[in-house]
Amino acid sequence: MTGPLLNAWNLDLGSAKPLVADNPDDTLALQPVPGTSPATWGLGRG
């Protein structure tokens, strides 16, 4: 049952990683707008 969900997660994460690969971690940790999450949270790195 969890197999398809994990496959989708890995596909999405695999698509996102190249988009942020050249950004330093400290810039990904910045909160863009008060009350929102930084990019690291969405990528599972924070």
Q: Can you give the pLDDT at residue 45?
A: 64
What is the distance between the alpha carbons of residues 38 and 46, in angstroms, rounded to a whole number? 8
Q: What is the pTM of this model?
A: 0.49
Q: Which residues contact 32 (CB under 8 A, 6 or more apart)?
A: 38, 39
For residues 13-20, average pLDDT: 84
Residue 44 has pLDDT above 80, yes or no: no
Rounded average pLDDT over 21-46:
83
Which residues have C-beta within 8 Å of that of residue 39, sequence separation ≥ 6? Answer: 20, 23, 28, 29, 32
For residue 9, the model assigns a pLDDT of 83
